[in-house]
Structure 1
Amino acid sequence: MSLVVENISKNYGDQKALDNISFSIKKGEIVGFLGPNGAGKSTLMKILTTYLKADSGSAIVNDFNVVSEQKNVQKSVGYLPEHNPLYLDLYVREYLRFNADVYGVTKTRIEEVIELTGLTSESHKKIGALSKGYRQRVGLATALLHQPDVLILDEPTTGLDPNQLVEIRDLIKNIGKDKTVFLSTHIMQEVEAICDRVIIIDKGKIVTDKKLNTLVTDATEQILEVEFDKAVDQSDFAILPDLIKAINIHDALWELTFSTATDRRSDVFDFAQNKGLKTLQIALKNKNLEQIFREKTAKKQ
């Protein structure tokens, strides 16, 4: 395993930021780390990158202990923090050369990461003159300079425009083929686009840890979108088994939610026949990641 977290806890005074967190990530996985603001995401990332020490538990990054083997962990990890610290008075290449010297990296690698992160057109400018999106690219280029085995990215696409988003997502996905990528973000479409697995944390505890394809199909309820040939009264749906709610979208188009994953389409067809209705369309609506995230965290806030 490239990343192993065992029973990590961290308190800030009376506030419990992390509460007995455990999980592991293997090489080649791209894992999305999600949670509301204040859930403990950045705290854990700082522990994994040796910026903070946990109160209890242990963490292993690329087979190195984050407490007893800090230097080896730092050499193994590429870290892009949420608030990307940059020297704004330096030029892009100048800043990357400075970091390359720290890591003992060749000038050839500087040019590689500039091209890799789409910085070529801006590399002659001072960092202070760059847009927020391009500053993020500089941070990502810095994280990639020493070709780390593990990438830990905290909000990596903050401030990027839609075109830049696609480019950076593709870059992260490509990098993730032979590295471990652990990224935090509030953009659910980003996770759906690039991640293999999702860990959701709320109030310092893991509430979900599943493969993305399993998470979005492992539903505890079912939503059907149904259109009839004429209007229906909401009260008529009361006879349907396991119905939680019926929402009229417009005219004779309804969204029906059932408290079971059992297929209820046949019941809807029977309902329509008994009411003398024709079913013009019926579609099973899978939940997206945003809905699942809200279910797992909203009630606890």
Structure 2
Amino acid sequence: MSIKVTSVTKTYSSQKALNEVSFTADKGQIIGFLGPNGAGKSTMMKILTGFIKPNSGKVFVDEIDVLQNPLEAQKNIGYLPEHNPLYRDMYVREYLQFQASIFNISTALDVTEKEQIETCIRSVGLEAEAHKKIQQLSKGYQQRVGLAAAILHNPSVLILDEPTTGLDPNQLVEIRALIKELGKEKTVLFSTHIMQEVEAICDRVIIIKKGEVLVDKKLKELQKNNQQVIKVVFNTSIDEDKLQQIPYLFSIDKLDNTSWKLFFKTEEDMRSQIFDIAQENELKILELASENKNLESLFRALTLQ
């Protein structure tokens, strides 16, 4: 088991950032670690890397106690934080040599420092840019440098905090493919706000809100749930409590005064029930559409409650 988190709680002053969080992860899994802003994602990632300590709970990486032996655990962890901390006035190879010296690559791995640097450059597709200073690179290539640094010591666990933020569509596709390739041999914990990225590359999803785990399931299981999402636009406003009378409704997203997105837990087509509510309240329906079930709709339904 590559990651084991048990009952982790972290409090900042009077605010509880994490509350009894527990989960495990195995080798070869890419896990989407999701939640709204302030949910505790970055805090959990910093605890996993040994950067901060929780108030209580246990954290193991490759059976090493991160809280008791953080330096030993960090040998097995590659970390790309949300704000990629690069030395932008350094050349790509120069920066990676600096990182390699920190991890003492030539001693830790059965390869020379130069060989490992070149292997990582090839792995992340940096060959054509490796002769440049980091500040000369696009955001996408700077993210590749961060990934190269994260895998330089050949860790078994990769922790990636918002690795695709600020990338253009082409860069997104390239970084997505790279993460998927890395996930074949490593455990990847991948935080993002882009649900399409999770659906494209992740095997499993963990959703947290206000420091607590709401969902921990395989992506395929989530995609098979019986959730139904219907968007409706009325000709005038309606009170939310009247919509709450519809059976099987478990969440409501108000788009504007007349537009609503309704989330149901049933396979029954609920559009007829919405017609009935409209008729009872002397409303006209201008638009009524059943949306495809996807991770984004589930995420919104869970985190907007």
**TM-score computed with the length of structure 2 as normaliser:** 0.79
User: Could you tell me which amino acid in structure 1 is paired with residue 298 of structure 2?
Assistant: I
CA deviation profile, 1:269-294 (whole Å, cap 9, x unmatched) = xxxxxxxxxxxxxx975311111111
2:173 is matched with 166
Instruction: Give the Å deviation of 1:159.
Output: 2.3
2:28 is matched with 28
Q: Secondary structure at the match of 1:17?
A: strand
1:204 is matched with 211
User: Could you tell me which amino acid in structure 2 is paired with residue 79 of structure 1?
Assistant: Y
Q: Secondary structure at the match of 1:218?
A: coil
Q: Secondary structure at the match of 2:303?
A: helix
What CA distance in whole angstroms lies between the structure 1 residues aligned with 2:263 and 2:43? 38
1:90 is matched with 90
Write the mapping of 1:27-106 to structure 2, written as runs, cut at 5 A.
27-105=27-105, 106=113
Instruction: Give the Å deviation of 1:160.
Output: 2.0
What CA distance in whole angstroms lies between the structure 2 residues aligned with 1:102 and 1:138? 16
Query: Across the two proteins, how many residue pairs are aligned to each other?
Result: 263
> Structure 2: 5+ residue runs without aligned partners?
106-112, 233-245, 250-259, 274-288
Q: Per the alignment, do residues 4 and 293 of structure 1 end up closer, same or farther by CA in structure 2, a change over 3 Å counting?
A: same
1:215 is matched with 222
1:7 is matched with 7
| Identical residues among aligned pairs (%) | 57
Could you list the structure 1 runs, at least 4 aligned residues long, displaced by more than 6 angstroms after superposition: 255-258
- The yes-or-no answer on 1:287 pairing with 2:293 is yes
User: Could you tell me which amino acid in structure 2 is paired with residue 163 of structure 1?
Assistant: N
1:297 is matched with 303
> Structure 1: 5+ residue runs without aligned partners?
226-240, 245-254, 269-282
What CA distance in whole angstroms lies between the structure 2 residues aligned with 1:256 and 1:206? 24
What CA distance in whole angstroms lies between the structure 1 residues aligned with 2:247 and 2:206? 30
Q: Per the alignment, do residues 110 and 209 of structure 1 end up closer, same or farther by CA in structure 2, a change over 3 Å counting?
A: same
Whichever of the two has the greater Rg, that structure is: 1
Q: Per the alignment, do residues 18 and 177 of structure 1 end up closer, same or farther by CA in structure 2, a change over 3 Å counting?
A: same
**TM-score computed with the length of structure 1 as normaliser:** 0.80
Instruction: Give the Å deviation of 1:257.
Output: 6.7
C-alpha contact (below 8 Å) 2:50/2:67 kept by paired residues: yes
C-alpha contact (below 8 Å) 2:91/2:132 kept by paired residues: yes
CA deviation profile, 1:16-63 (whole Å, cap 9, x unmatched) = 111110111111111000011111100000000000001000100111
Aligned-residue RMSD, C-alpha: 2.7
